[in-house]
Structure 1
């Protein structure tokens, strides 16, 4: 399996790449080959005085490559120009990546209302599962908030087809996951369930599948706004990563703001693993 790790060479990206436990977690789920990608913005030109961005970025990627190779992975590096989320998505599709990883400091509640960060744009457009790896927000040399990426998972489901598709990722995560909490949020109009359906029973069925892999499982049904309740569940459970599916039935999803999955990516305190429709799991 291949993974793309996107880096802007910031302290947040460096924390993701240089954390040995983080790399070990990727190996535990079957990642063998890592592609490091850094994007030079289109408006930055090589001829600008005092700015040899490409050379500096290649030197930085060479340092990162050594760390990753020493952890036992095959590594390729890519220094490209363009719009970051578009180039990252394009490379992931071209190489057939099973996962894209991007580090993020997260934002304040006010900043969360502004769509523009690479992580959030990737959440809107990615065609492969996306891991948003959260680091400390204020530190000059930040640490990862959770270095054991998949050890303790929170899975949020509305029982839609795409949520079920996201659940299938546990077949890959099982070698790295020890505990999981499965959460469904009931709303007045719940399109994912027929009127006579029992959400507790549906969650128990999913739990049985995970328990067969020796994963310790809890289930919970909440009521209210889906994004708010998933964030409350995250605060209560303190998972390594929150796993969620993104509906994205058409290109219109790239133009519409405020989906539950985007809100979770923007607001979560910890890591988020987002699985888009049709992604190879």
Structure 2
């Protein structure tokens, strides 16, 4: 597997990239090659007196590269200019990446209101599964909130086609996942699976599949607001990563602020792995 790791060279990004446990978890799910990407935004002028932005970023990436190679992973570095989420998506497509990774402190009221953040824009437009790696907030020397990325995974499903696609991520996550919690939130407009199938039974069937992979699985059916209930389950079970699918990549979806996936990414305490819909040609 190939992964694109986007970094803004902040202390938060450095904490994630230089963490040996995090790198080991990526290797365990099959990541063999990391593409480190840093984007010089268009509004940062190349001719800023006394500052060579590209050279500074290349030096930083060289330092990260040594750490990653020491963990046994291959590395390529990319310093590019443009709009961050567009360039990150573009590189993911061009190198044939299986995963994109971005660090985020999250849970900031200001960040939750801004639609221009790289993390939120990536959540809306990502072309491959996106791992939002949560970093501590409010400290000068930040660390990863959860170093063992996929050890305990919370999977949220509405039984849609894309939620099923997200579940298939366990085909590689299972090599790092020991425990999984499967949750469905019933609402008036989305009570459960199509037809007469019982949501509890459907979750049990998924749990059986995970048990065959030696993953201990529990199920939880709730009723209420999907975002509130998913976050409540996260607080109760304390997973290291929450896995869910996004609904689509339409222009309308990208403009809406209220999607379940974006709200979970903005407010979750731990990491979030977002699986986008399969691309149509």
Q: Same fold (TM over 0.5)?
A: yes
SS at match of 1:247: coil
Alpha-carbon separation, structure 1, partners of 2:190 and 2:205: 19
Matches within 5 A, 1:44-63: 44-63=44-63
SS at match of 1:236: helix
Alpha-carbon separation, structure 2, partners of 1:88 and 1:107: 23
Q: Name which of structure 1's ranges 185-194 and 229-238 shifts more when overlaid on structure 2.
A: 185-194
Alpha-carbon separation, structure 1, partners of 2:199 and 2:192: 10
Give how far 1:56 is off: 0.4
Give how far 1:256 is off: 1.9
Give the structure-2-normalised TM-score. 0.97
Alpha-carbon separation, structure 2, partners of 1:228 and 1:241: 17
Shift in alpha-carbon separation, 1:70–1:121, aligned structure 2, 3 A = same
Matches within 5 A, 1:103-252: 103-190=103-190, 193-194=193-194, 196-248=196-248, 250-252=250-252
Q: Give the RMSD, CA atoms, in angstroms.
A: 1.4
Gaps of 5+ in 2: none
Q: Which residue of 2 aligns with 1:100?
A: 100
Give the structure-1-normalised TM-score. 0.97
Alpha-carbon separation, structure 2, partners of 1:139 and 1:43: 28
* Structure 1 runs (4+) greater than 4 angstroms displaced: none
Q: Name which of structure 1's ranges 110-119 and 223-232 shifts more when overlaid on structure 2.
A: 110-119
Q: Which residue of 2 aligns with 1:23?
A: 23
SS at match of 1:136: coil
Number of residues paired by the alignment? 280
SS at match of 1:177: coil
